[in-house]
Amino acid sequence: MSDDQDLGIRVAAYLNARRGQLTRHWLRAVRKQIRVKPITREAVVGLIDQLPQIFEELCVMLRSDGPSHAAETRLEHDARQHAQERWRQGFALDELYVELELLHRCVQASVREYFVSAPPPEGQAGIHEAIEAFFGDATRTVIEQFQSQADRRVRDALGERDRALAAQRRSEERLRIATEAAGIGIFEWDPQTDGAVWENDRMFEITGQLAQAGPLGARQFSDLLVNPDDLAGLYEALDAASAGRREMHASFEMRKLRTREHRHVEISARFLPDSTGTRQVVVGTLADITDRVQVEEKLKEADRRKDVFLATLAHELRNPLAPILNAASFLRRRNISALQLRWLQGVVERQAKHLAALIDDLLDLSRISAGKIRLRKEVFDIRAAIERAIEINAPAAARHGHRLEIDGIAHSLPIFIRGDPTRLTQVLANLLDNATKYTADGGHIRLSLEETDGEVRVCVEDNGIGMEPHTIPAMFEMFEQATEDTTAGKSGLGIGLSVARSLVAMHGGTLDATSEGRGKGSQFVVTLPVCDKPATGTTAPSRPADDGPCARLRVLIVDDNYDAASSLAAVLDGHDVHTANRGKDALEMVDELRPHVVILDLDLPDISGYEVATRLSGRKGEDDANTLPVLIALTGYGLPDDIERTRQAGFDRHIVKPARPEEIAELLDELGKKALIR
């Protein structure tokens, strides 16, 4: 079974599972759209009865990886039945067309929901194209059958040529209305004379031809409009349709007359007898599908960037894991000197911090995308954030022999802004880090600061690899990095600049980049609004005095990761530490040990950490509140909603993994010194 067929089977199953919901959406849309004839209860019942025939054929087509001859025959039969049922109910052609078009939209919307809820596979564009073709065939067959029924009824009922022709003209006008609503141009072409008739104004709009100039013949159309690369395929489809007297269907690129704008169009045509019945003419439709093609291209580009990002993420995660595994292997040796032990400790600590930084970047990306990031704003001197960013990047710059020039900071007056010092430090550190990465050893990096017209401009400039001007906008998009030939040995997930620009925008500022081209360096400028200096007389809260040595606490660590629990217990060996790996074991050990502190993971194999905390908090009515332990959530979930959920479950503190062991040790010391144990 091919991948495309397997995907078709899954999409068909998805649609089948949501048939009832899809039917409701369809009926609701029909009631809103059709205004020519009121929807009666009989008509609604007719809609529901007719839906399974076409819907089932759609699923059969998807499961079979394309329509077979038998499927096409059955589709034509079902479409004819659909048209006959609508004829009996007194439906007009434009209403029938709208009904099918609305079903088409509902199905496509449901398929798009499927691809949003699952990783988008390679064949999704093919699924969309197959559905487009399916409903195109269904619509054309229904319209033809409906038109045939209309002509037959006029002939049989009236028997008068004039009235039959009048009814036919009305039916054709409705057909024009329907095709105009769908943005479809209608044409007729005589192969013998190359004469053409354009039935509606949409043909002139699509091609850019002036209406007063008249329609273009097929030869003029191909010579003036069609992309030369697509001509061979277009002629081949036309010859095949002529030889087999079947429908022609092709898509190609063209350039509109006068504006020369590139557009993608789709043509459907069929050879039919002319009015005299002596020779064949081509009757068809032309549709502009540029928007659809662009959406498909964006889907492909999104897939490509997703794949690149996942590959980069895997690479970046493996890089720090390798030295950590090497250090673990080295620790198995018996004779390790104190110097080697300190070196191994440094390796593990540096690489673990690097892993934590990668995770923080991913969390920032998720929070910004969800609009859930929170800024802790205060009035501060922007120079403090600049100095901290320089401090963070100075070691890397020194390793590469970069000359870091600082201009306008040491001698400038304080420049106050209202913002989050940590986040703005993160932005400036990211810009300096990029300058260090993409500047050759011994290069020059310059950071300058100036205040003008109520704004402060921080500029980071380097003489590194530079960027082509047309690539600069893409560098601020998610998962985008410099091209591979200029980033050898460079690391990163390609999300830093996107996160940085979003953070600056949240402060009411801008982040822009310029470069004169490859090899000519880059310049990044952060612009932020300044504010008045903070009110005088305010002082930072003083730290509480040290109350003496910390009491030895009974601590219970609950984590299903044995290594995580035991290693944290080893770090906290100054206290009486116990571990558990399951939620139910933790509840029993709380009753037995009466711990002062419970450090609790949320994802446990039996009952969740939330449930453990809720049960312990529920004992406040039974036990003395002072005997209940302090509950600390130690988890990888760090969004504001996650913190609020742990608070409601009864946790006293929320710490996000990976936490520094010193942070947890300091928290226990604080609990002991301040006598916060209940």
pLDDT in tens, 306-336: 776 676 666 667 767 777 887 887 888 778 8
Under the banding of pLDDT at 50, 70 and 90, the label for residue 137 is confident
- Say whether both 160 and 222 belong to one domain: no
Q: What are phi and psi of 198, to 5 degrees?
A: -105, 115
Q: Which two tokens stand for residue 565?
A: 């629990």
- Asked if residue 545 belongs to a domain, the reply is no
pLDDT, mean of residues 287-308? 83
- Asked if residue 546 belongs to a domain, the reply is no
Average pLDDT of the chain to the nearest whole number: 78
For residue 539, what pLDDT is reported? 41
Comparing 380 with 16, the larger pLDDT belongs to 380
For residue 52, what pLDDT is reported? 62
Does 142 have pLDDT greater than 90? no
DSSP 8-state symbol, 227: -
- Asked if residue 301 belongs to a domain, the reply is no
- Say whether both 189 and 170 belong to one domain: no
- Say whether both 31 and 53 belong to one domain: yes
How many alpha carbons fall within 13 Å on the CB side of residue 623? 14
Comparing 67 with 502, the larger pLDDT belongs to 502
The pLDDT tens digits for 24-45 are: 777 777 777 655 454 555 555 5
**Domain end among 370, 391, 414:** 370
For residue 511, what pLDDT is reported? 92
Burial class of 407 by CB neighbour count within 10 A (0 to 12, 13 to 18, 19+) = middle
Under the banding of pLDDT at 50, 70 and 90, the label for residue 263 is very high
Cα–Cα distance measured from residue 494 to residue 475, given in angstroms and rounded to the nearest whole number: 8
Comparing 168 with 444, the larger pLDDT belongs to 444
pLDDT, mean of residues 550-573? 83
Comparing 36 with 364, the larger pLDDT belongs to 364
Does 558 have pLDDT greater than 70? yes
The pLDDT tens digits for 194-215 are: 889 888 888 899 999 998 899 9
- Say whether both 1 and 132 belong to one domain: yes
Please give the full DSSP string across 81-139, using - where no structure is assigned.
HHHHHHHHHT--HHHHHHHHHHHHHHHHHHHHHHHHHS---TTHHHHHHHHHHHHHHHH
- Asked if residue 609 belongs to a domain, the reply is yes
| Low-confidence winner among 8-12, 209-213, 500-504, 514-518 (lowest mean pLDDT) | 8-12
Cα–Cα distance measured from residue 2 to residue 66, given in angstroms and rounded to the nearest whole number: 12
For residue 489, what pLDDT is reported? 44
The pLDDT tens digits for 454-488 are: 899 999 999 988 888 888 887 777 555 554 444 44
Cα–Cα distance measured from residue 475 to residue 222, given in angstroms and rounded to the nearest whole number: 40
**Domain end among 354, 370, 386:** 370
For residue 625, what is the domain's CATH number?
3.40.50.2300
- Say whether both 96 and 176 belong to one domain: yes
Under the banding of pLDDT at 50, 70 and 90, the label for residue 173 is confident
| Low-confidence winner among 26-30, 70-74, 445-449 (lowest mean pLDDT) | 70-74
Burial string for 522-547 (b: 16+ CB within 10 Å, else e) reads bbbbbbbebeeeeeeeeeeeeeeeee
**How many other C-beta atoms lie within 10 A of the C-beta of residue 45?**
11
**CB of 410 within 8 A of CB of 451?**
no
Cα–Cα distance measured from residue 233 to residue 219, given in angstroms and rounded to the nearest whole number: 15
Q: What are phi and psi of 79, to 5 degrees?
A: -65, -40
pLDDT, mean of residues 549-568? 82
Question: To which H or E segment does residue 364 belong?
Answer: helix 338-370
- Asked if residue 522 belongs to a domain, the reply is yes
pLDDT, mean of residues 411-423? 84
- Asked if residue 397 belongs to a domain, the reply is yes
Please give the full DSSP string across 423-463, using - where no structure is assigned.
HHHHHHHHHHHHHHHTS-TT-EEEEEEEEETTEEEEEEEE-
Cα–Cα distance measured from residue 138 to residue 90, given in angstroms and rounded to the nearest whole number: 20
Under the banding of pLDDT at 50, 70 and 90, the label for residue 677 is very low
**CB of 31 within 8 A of CB of 39?**
yes
For residue 678, what pLDDT is reported? 44
Question: To which H or E segment does residue 589 belong?
Answer: helix 583-593
For residue 265, what pLDDT is reported? 92
| Low-confidence winner among 70-84, 199-213, 570-584, 634-648 (lowest mean pLDDT) | 70-84
For residue 486, what pLDDT is reported? 43
Q: What SS3 state is found at 502? A: helix
Domain that holds residue 90: 1-182
Burial class of 510 by CB neighbour count within 10 A (0 to 12, 13 to 18, 19+) = middle
For residue 204, what is the domain's CATH number?
3.30.450.20
pLDDT, mean of residues 534-559? 63
For residue 467, what is the domain's CATH number?
3.30.565.10
For residue 540, what pLDDT is reported? 41
Closest Cα to residue 127, out of 57, 62, 60, 54?
62
**Domain end among 150, 182, 214:** 182
For residue 7, what is the domain's CATH number?
1.10.490
- Say whether both 488 and 621 belong to one domain: no
pLDDT, mean of residues 572-599? 90
For residue 598, what pLDDT is reported? 93
Does 429 have pLDDT greater than 70? yes
For residue 96, what pLDDT is reported? 66
**Number of domains into which the chain is organized:** 5
- Say whether both 2 and 143 belong to one domain: yes
- Say whether both 354 and 400 belong to one domain: no
Q: CA dist 650 to 343, 378, 523, 592, 600, Å? A: 42, 30, 49, 21, 12
Under the banding of pLDDT at 50, 70 and 90, the label for residue 367 is low
For residue 334, what is the domain's CATH number?
1.10.287
- Say whether both 125 and 257 belong to one domain: no
- Percentage of the residues of the chain whose pLDDT score is greater than 70: 75
- Say whether both 312 and 426 belong to one domain: no
- Say whether both 169 and 189 belong to one domain: no
- Asked if residue 542 belongs to a domain, the reply is no
| Low-confidence winner among 485-499, 504-518, 615-629 (lowest mean pLDDT) | 485-499
Q: What are phi and psi of 194, to 5 degrees?
A: 60, 15
The pLDDT tens digits for 378-416 are: 999 999 889 888 888 888 888 889 988 888 776 667 889
- Say whether both 504 and 437 belong to one domain: yes
- Asked if residue 541 belongs to a domain, the reply is no
